[in-house]
Structure 1
Amino acid sequence: MTIGGWIVVNRTRTCIIALVAMLLSLWLCARMTLGAQMNGGASERTLALRIIGPEGAPVAGAKVGTGLNIFEQSQGHPPQTILMWLRGQKRHWPFYSDTEGLIELTDADAEHRNFYVQYEPRGWVGYKQVLEGSTGSRVDIRLEPACRVHGQLTSSGFDRLGHPLEKTVAFLYDSRGELVMYFVSEQGRYEFLLPGGRYELECFGEGPPGIETARLRWSVVVESDQQDLDAGLVDLPPTRLAELCGTPAPELLGIVDWRGSQPLELSRLTGNVVVLVFWGSWSRPCLKTMPQLMELHDLWADQGVVIIGVHDNSVSNVAELDANLAEAHRLYWGRRELLFPVGIDSGKGWGAVHETYGIDQWPAVVVIDPQGNVAGTFSPWGPLEAVLAQMLSEQ
């Protein structure tokens, strides 16, 4: 009986365990099925836009995108205007509304939250900021007669310095600071077709390679029934760096500590092409740019190119800098070390050297020619190497 009783009890326990296992398996299958359905739903997320006219009637054939880029250029030919609608994730924009005024966005396209609409036959436009959580619903975008917002851009400072204003760029932002469109011109102008609302314009100009004006930003209010808004002539001042171009490079006064070098003087480097890299160890774009600069150092260091890093004053000595860079070595640099010297800036703002050169964005790469004059600022991703090669070939 004891043995038989034990056997009976054991069999009962075995049945209970088997039943629990079966129920657990069914529960897991249900969870997996629900998860698959939810994932399938996520891949099928949609957002329906209905385009309607001023009186509320559906509009067929309206163009819809997340914004508009306008290029007005000649390049030696008669001026032409090129429109580029911002693109979605799955296919090219713009989308066109159907006979019921509808556009159905799917997948990643349905995640966009800002839409600009043009209906050229009637001169109507619209803009809509869609609220978060709108995916799966329908949103109406009402069109209205467009207001032509336009203006001229010049730079008396460039004229004074002898720099031609070769190109201007005007960025248009909505009331939340989202970029709606931009206008690139060789004629020093911009023009946007907008519905009523509050916007911000940010404009700057470009001269010869490496020389730019400062960026100016101001508010623009378009009334709902307004047809034309002339913003007038805006004078874009040159940057501090543009003022320095063609003049002897200021010395690196304000450096309080040097990594990998004794204190350097630019005047002693005449005959070399000097590349000043302004950066901060707190900036991910700066950290990701360093491998490219390491490669340039490897390629050009023995050909007369001297790369010098100028770190901002967010650290006060080399020990602090090295502590900040511990993770960057592993994540971004493949455990490589910086082989070019780095000076640590000090003083007001981001540091005295930053102030002297007018640096307000990072990373910034300033090139000094073999004569010791500031040549301009250049992107390390391509243009910089071409500039170095040209300067060395002209010696």
Structure 2
Amino acid sequence: MNQTAVIVAARRTPIGSAGHALRDIPVADLAAPVLTAVLDDAGIRPGDVDEVVLGNCLGPGGDVARYAALAGGLPATVPGLTVDRQCGSGLAAITTAVALIEAGHVRCALAGGAESASTAPWRYWPPTGPSGTPVRYERAPFAPAELGDPDMGVAADLLAEKHGIGRARQDAYAARSHRLAHAARESGAFDRELTPVAGVRADERPRAALTEERLARLRPAFRPDGTVTAGNSCGVGDGAAAVAVVTEREADRRGLAGLRVRKVATAGVDPQWPGLGIVPAVRDVLATTGRVLPDVDVVELNEAFAGQVLACCDELGLDPDRVCTEGGALALGHPWGASGAILVVRLFSRLAALPEGSAGLAAIAVGGGQGVALLVERR
């Protein structure tokens, strides 16, 4: 059975900087309100949902999606699935829901991602002997060491060097992201997609005063002679995002517009260059649908690092000025397991103002050398 999936509602929380505005909210309690909000927006009864799929990287374990679904008021008969594709988890959750729709397994799913870096548990390797002590670690390996498993910051710095992307260009792109995001926040461009949590109603991080001149004063963050700094890297964030995905027949029956999913793709690349995972995933969705980048009206790429986004743009022949034109993760922050879903919420909001048939692209790179992409068009 070959069904077409349609995204009919999309919401996100404000994004808080780790340790700040949303620091006391556990990950599932970030997700629950956005699940409720997308149901309300689409006019879908909780009992009509067949599955909840959420991405999460560093939560407490268990099944965040199941907990969030119950906390959000969905009945106990609705199952929940939590997926982990690291930074791509939120978008991977949505592509999983799309696959369930297309295969005819479900008619209605809620999908997205959530992350609370502020409340993430500390992790330890166990002692190696009777007299040993536990060793705390921040992340598990993304790939076998012999293949290369660089930290994302180091990898981004090396990628910028390899592609000849200098400090000034990175700082200019980062300043642009903050400028655009601050303007969008102040103009109310984000308001319709936001679900307040714990009294927080707006994204915390965008700063209009973060100019190229100020960014130029910052020291390299990952290599002594590097070009990647705290200013042209994303900030770690807390937040959640979710969408409602239904069959096209169900969308028609309910009189809902939304975004028709044309293609999703996941790709692998050399784990030494994880930031390039976006490139083959984007090429896949474009080739399969017969589109080219000039045909795509809205482009949302996860801005993990300015140099990494610019390297992907250069590889794809994409004008960086077309990417995240209301700011991206460099300004808003990067709540790892939610970020891919936030890209889709942004597509939903921006495409709502464009004519039927307008196309949107979301893509994100993943530690270990992967990328996830999604291409949609407005119904």
Q: State the TM-score, normalized to the length of structure 1.
A: 0.25
Structure with the bigger percentage of helix: 2
Larger Rg: 1
The higher relative CO (CA closer than 8 Å, separation ≥ 6) is in 2
Q: State the TM-score, normalized to the length of structure 2.
A: 0.26
